[in-house]
Amino acid sequence: MTNRLLLLDDHPAFRDSLAWFLRRDHYDVHAIEDGDEAATLLCRSHFDLVITDRDHPGMAADQIAQLSERCIVLTCSLQEDGVHKGLPIEGLLEHVKQVLAN
């Protein structure tokens, strides 16, 4: 059975890239950009995991996490040289597998 993931991020390039990697790993991904839409979907449908950016329009990430059985909240930091530093994609994909296994 394919795991259903709800991916919430308001940055289209990041959201689309991450969705591509998750789909490549055979996850059924529903990608959206707004916290209010996420809340509506979580009330109407089952998702095995929610992956959400910490900061986005609509309902806050901590409130979305309370609506989901499993949730990963993403954030990144801006380094002095202006480059965003976050978890490498391979690390995130491995973490997704671990969360879904438990």
- pLDDT tens for each residue of 7-30: 999 888 889 999 999 999 999 999
pLDDT over threshold 70, residue 83: no
Whole-number mean pLDDT of the chain?
87
What's the pTM value of the predicted model, to 2 decimals? 0.86
Pairing of strands 77-78, 49-53: unpaired
Higher model confidence: residue 102 or residue 19?
Answer: 19
Mapped onto helix, strand or coil, the DSSP state of residue 31 is strand
Tens-place pLDDT, residues 58-79: 888 889 999 999 999 887 655 5
Domains and CATH numbers, the chain: 4-101 (3.40.50.2300)
